[in-house]
Structure 1
Amino acid sequence: MGFGKQAIGRLLHRWSLRRWTRLARAAETADLDKLHQQRLMASQLMTRLSELNFVANSRLALPRVGTNAFVRPGGTLWSWRPRAWRGPLPEMGIAAVGNRASLGDHLTVFHDCDISELTLRQIRNTRTSDMAPYGLRLDVFRFDGSFLSLVLDLPAEAIDGLLKRHIIRLTLNVELEQPLEIFARLNVRHGPNTEQMVQEIRNADGEMVVEFDLAYSDINERRIEAAWLDLIFEGAEMNQITLRDVTLCRYPRAEL
Structure 2
Amino acid sequence: MASETRGWLDRTLEAASLRRWARRAAMAPRTELPELRRQRARARKLKAHVDRVIHVAEERLALPMIGNQAFPRPPDSDWAWRPDLWCGPLPVAGLSSVPSKSMLGGEVTLFHDCAQSELTLRQLRNMREADLAAYGLRLDVFRFDGSYLSLAIDLPEAASRNLRRKHLIRVETIVEMEKPLEIFARLNIKHGPNTEQIVRELPLDAPEIMIEFDLAYTKMNEKRVEKMWLDLIFEGPQMNQVTLRDLTFSRRKRAEL
Q: Same fold (TM over 0.5)?
A: yes
Matched, 1:242 2:243: yes
Q: Residues of 1 paired with 2:188 and 2:125: CA distance?
A: 29
Describe the SS at the equivalent of 2:223.
helix
Report the count of equivalent residues: 253
Matched, 1:97 2:95: no
Partner in structure 1 of residue 129 of structure 2:
128
Describe the SS at the equivalent of 2:77.
coil
Could you list the runs of 5+ residues in structure 1 that have no partner in the other structure? none
Say whether the 8 Å CA contact 2:203–2:210 is kept in structure 1.
no
1:223–1:58 distance in 2 versus 1, CA, 3 Å: same
Partner in structure 1 of residue 54 of structure 2:
53
Matched, 1:33 2:34: no
- Give the structure-2-normalised TM-score: 0.87
Displacement after TM superposition at 1:48 (Å)? 4.2
Amino acid at match of 1:79: A
RMSD value, Cα: 2.7
Displacement after TM superposition at 1:119 (Å)? 0.9
Worse-superposed segment, 125-134 or 224-233 = 125-134
Q: How does 1:1-256 map to 2 (within 5 A)?
A: 4-17=5-18, 23=23, 27=26, 32-33=30-31, 40=40, 44=44, 48-203=49-204, 207-256=208-257
Q: Residues of 2 paired with 1:4 and 1:215: CA distance?
A: 66
- Give the structure-1-normalised TM-score: 0.87
Q: Residues of 1 paired with 2:192 and 2:248: CA distance?
A: 27
1:204–1:92 distance in 2 versus 1, CA, 3 Å: farther
Amino acid at match of 1:112: D
Q: Residues of 1 paired with 2:165 and 2:4: CA distance?
A: 54
Describe the SS at the equivalent of 2:127.
coil
Amino acid at match of 1:110: F
Q: Residues of 2 paired with 1:254 and 1:15: CA distance?
A: 66
Q: Residues of 2 paired with 1:127 and 1:163: CA distance?
A: 37
Amino acid at match of 1:58: E
Q: Residues of 1 paired with 2:97 and 2:170: CA distance?
A: 32
Amino acid at match of 1:66: G
